[in-house]
Amino acid sequence: MSDGQSRPTNDAQIVVSGLSKQYRNVLAVNNLSFTVEPGRVTGFLGPNGAGKTTTLRMLLNLVTPTAGTATIGGRRYPELAEPLRHVGAVLEASSAHKGRTGINHLRVISAAAGLPRQRADEALALVGLTPAAKRKFKGYSLGMKQRLGIAAAMLGDPRVLILDEPANGLDPEGIRWMRGFLKGLAAEGRTVLVSSHLLSEMQLLADDVVIIAAGQLVRQGPVDQVIGSMAQGVRVRVRTPQAEALTSALAGGPARVQTDEHGALLIAGVDAPTVGRAALGAGVELHELTTERPDLERVFLELTAGKAGIR
Amino acid sequence: MSNLVRSELLKIRTTSTWWWLAIGAFLSIAMAFPLNAWLFNTAVEGNAEDVGLTGDAASAPAQAANLYTSGQYLGLMFVMLIGILMVTNEFFHQTATTTFLATPRRTAVIVSKLIAASLLGFVFWLVTTVIDLGAGAIFLTLNDHGTLLGEWEVQRALLLNLMAYAIWTVLGVGIGTLITNQLGAVITASVLYLIGTQVVSVLFFMLSSWLDSLAVLKWQVLWPAVASQVMITPGENEMLPAWWVGVLVLIGYALVSGIIGVLLTRRRDIS
Ligand SMILES: Nc1ncnc2c1ncn2[C@@H]1O[C@H](COP(=O)(O)OP(=O)(O)O)[C@@H](O)[C@H]1O
Ligand SMILES: [Mg+2]
């Protein structure tokens, strides 16, 4: 086939366009547009109540948009011929019957989707849950429940993975496992869209980010680019009992000096050796001298400042 | 579609709910059968008036029909509850998300629940009927009446009993889509089934004496549980509509609740 190369790529691209959702008295999502590419992990970030869950549910046809469209490979979710072979999703508030065993939960889904019966066993093995296959869901720990959700998403070996706050309730070991698992899926060329409010985790996991606040897009792009785009680059943090003396020693150069809420100096425009040398020259006593690189958390807080909070 | 029905049946088989309801149905047979056997004996010994049976209803075939459908009263309620749980479980256990991800065509999901529900009603009928046939045939033969299974009235009762089981399970699915709150749906439906019928009959009685018309009583058939009763009752008189009126009313309820269920489910946000 002549288009054999390009088709998988197009099939796995997510396009959200002008998407809005009005609940009775909340505009949960407001004219939101972004794209998600295959072969990368895309972090979908926003403060609580920003509209992440609502957006993902509209993408999956669980919630009807008030306006706009969301497509996967150019088609709305209900138009996909075999949705579970195309898209796997792990959502908040999706669960299993408390009295059903893990393996039976997966068999029920496989039956509905017309997948072979042994896919249930394979998916369970993939997430390391085989020993708990015949235990009832109510006896599962939070981490096991989350893994069962991922097994359900992997049943159809989909090209697109959508996860809503998958790190919630996981212990550090579980989070590390999840990170490796999702990175591996992206490396295989799949599309991975993960919502989260855990920013340090996202910085380790995501290649791209889509940041929203109050239902609107704030920024989209590769993580490095989004961080680099912020006005504040690398800063040097200095704690000293002689702040004024150091400030005047640096005056006249490229350094821009600010004071943070704890009285430490945040110096931009020069590197740590320059500051150290200036301090030595002026005979200023230093208690701390560290280089601060901007991280996702700082960028996120600056971008979403004033837009967070309960709506 | 067959995949979906298979999945729905698997959902039922992989939890213990149906098991409890089956035990309930068997207990109701165990309670009803001796009572119906006693009614049979009383009627054929000529004391029918003592237990409020007159005319056709006191005949041996009519009483045999009653005996062979023992346990129907509570059995129908149990299959209705299964139908309700088939829907409300999805919301109570938050599996609706998974279900609609696997099949975004929601109409197909509800229709397959309706099909699975009627299959389940059939199984309930089959098992209760086999028990009733065994016990009833032994009882009747021991009392020198023969099995009476050749009587059309008996055969008709068995078939209509099947219809009742299928329709009430379907009705349960409909109720579940209307009231998705598990506890709310189960309590509402059980109370309406168990107590509602008495309340309805008292109201109609008052209405009938106020209007000075016995014909008004016929309209009780509009109440589903009464319709079900009418459907399996032979004969017809001033107060009692023909059996097929009951059939039509029940099918009407099943259709309306099924259609409303589909429409509601298609529009509902799953969040
Ligand atoms: N079913 C609903 N009915 C009414 N309001 C809702 C519903 N679901 C979400 N919301 C509101 O929409 C906003 C966005 O919620 P959500 O999408 O869950 O945000 P996030 O997942 O980013 O925390 C919130 O203000 C929330 O209260
Ligand atoms: Mg959320």
Domain boundaries, chain A: 9-228, 235-292
Dihedral sign, Cα of residue B159, residue B163, residue B164, residue B166: positive
Q: What residues have CB less than 8 Å from A25, skipping those under 6 apart?
A: none
Q: B19 to chain A, minimum CA–CA distance in Å? A: 13
- Whether residues B271 and A78 touch (CB distance < 8 A) is answered with no
The confidence band for A37, taking pLDDT boundaries of 50, 70 and 90, is very high
Nearest CA in chain A to B112: A112
Task: Tell me whether A294 touches chain B (CB under 8 Å).
Answer: no
- Asked whether the beta carbons of A145 and B95 are under 8 A apart, the reply is no
pLDDT at position A187 over 80: yes
Provide residues of B within 8 Å CB-CB of chain A: 3-4, 6-7, 10-11, 14-17, 89, 93-95, 97-105, 267, 269-271
Q: Which A residues in the span 7-66 are in contact with B, Cβ-Cβ below 8 Å?
A: 53-54, 57, 60-64
- Asked whether the beta carbons of B76 and B246 are under 8 A apart, the reply is no
Torsion of CA B202, B207, B210, B216, to 10 degrees: -120
**Per-domain residue ranges for chain B?**
2-267
Opening angle at CA B83, ends B80 and B88, nearest 5: 120
Going from the C-alpha of B198 to that of each of A98, B42, B193, the distances in angstroms are 37, 25, 9
CATH 3.40.50.300 fits A9-228, yes or no: yes
Q: Whose C-alpha lies nearest to ligand 1, atom 26?
A: A49
pLDDT score, position A231:
54
Distance CA A147, CA A178 (A): 9
The confidence band for B46, taking pLDDT boundaries of 50, 70 and 90, is confident
Neighboring chain A residues of B98 at a CB cutoff of 8 Å = 94-96, 109, 152
Ion ligand 2 neighbours (CB, 5 A) are: A 52-53
Encoded tokens for A221: 């792009």
pLDDT score, position A191:
96
Q: Does any ligand 1 atom lie closer than 6 A to the CB of residue A219?
A: no
- Whether residues B267 and A101 touch (CB distance < 8 A) is answered with no
Q: State the closest ligand 1 atom to the C-alpha of A47, by its place in the atom list counted from 1.
A: 22
Percentage of chain A modeled with pLDDT above 90: 59
Tell me which CATH code domain A235-292 carries: 3.30.70
CB atoms within 10 A of CB B225: 22
Distance of CA B87 from the midpoint of ligand 1 (Å): 24
β-partners of residue A289 are A238
Ligand closest to CA A166? 2
Neighboring chain B residues of A109 at a CB cutoff of 8 Å = 7, 98, 102
Q: State the closest ligand 1 atom to the C-alpha of A310, by its place in the atom list counted from 1.
A: 25
Tell me the pLDDT tens digit for each residue of B101-155: 999 999 999 999 999 988 988 998 999 999 999 999 999 988 888 888 888 888 9
pLDDT at position A192 over 60: yes
Distance CA B182, CA B81 (A): 10
Instruction: Average the pLDDT over B215-233 and give the result.
Output: 83
Nearest CA in chain A to B88: A97
Neighboring chain B residues of A163 at a CB cutoff of 8 Å = none
Edge to edge, what strands does the sheet with A208-213 contain?
A87-90, A160-164, A191-196, A41-45, A208-213, A216-222
pLDDT at position A23 over 80: yes
Average of per-residue pLDDT values in chain B = 88
From the centroid of its chain, how far is CA B222? 15
Q: Whose C-alpha lies nearest to ligand 1, atom 16?
A: A51
Distance CA B62, CA B43 (A): 10
Distance CA B101, CA A94 (A): 10
Q: A149 to chain B, minimum CA–CA distance in Å? A: 9
Ligand closest to CA A214? 1
Q: Which pTM value belongs to this model?
A: 0.85
DSSP B46: I
β-partners of residue A136 are A101
Which stretches within chain B are classed as H helix?
Answer: 2-13, 17-42, 60-68, 72-92, 96-102, 106-142, 152-178, 182-191, 197-211, 224-232, 243-267
pLDDT score, position B44:
81
Instruction: Average the pLDDT over B64-88 and give the result.
Output: 90
pLDDT at position A10 over 80: no
Find the range with the poorest average confidence among A24-28, A96-100, B57-61: B57-61
Average of per-residue pLDDT values in chain A = 88
Q: Does any ligand 1 atom lie closer than 6 A to the CB of residue A53?
A: yes
B158: amino acid identity, one letter: L
Distance CA A120, CA B105 (A): 22
Collapsing DSSP to helix, strand or coil, A172 comes out as: helix
Least CB-CB distance to A112: which of B103, B269, B271?
B103
- Asked whether the beta carbons of B174 and B80 are under 8 A apart, the reply is no
Opening angle at CA B270, ends B91 and B94, nearest 5: 30
Tell me the pLDDT tens digit for each residue of A257-293: 888 888 889 898 888 899 999 999 889 999 999 988 7
Collapsing DSSP to helix, strand or coil, A274 comes out as: helix
Which H/E stretch holds residue B18? helix B17-42
Helices (H) and strands (E) in chain B, counts: 11, 0
**Pairing mode, if any, of strands A67-72 and A87-90?**
unpaired
Opening angle at CA A80, ends A76 and A82, nearest 5: 155
pLDDT score, position B225:
85
Neighboring chain A residues of B4 at a CB cutoff of 8 Å = 112
pLDDT score, position A6:
44
Distance of CA A40 from the midpoint of ligand 2 (Å): 22
- Asked whether the beta carbons of A272 and A289 are under 8 A apart, the reply is yes
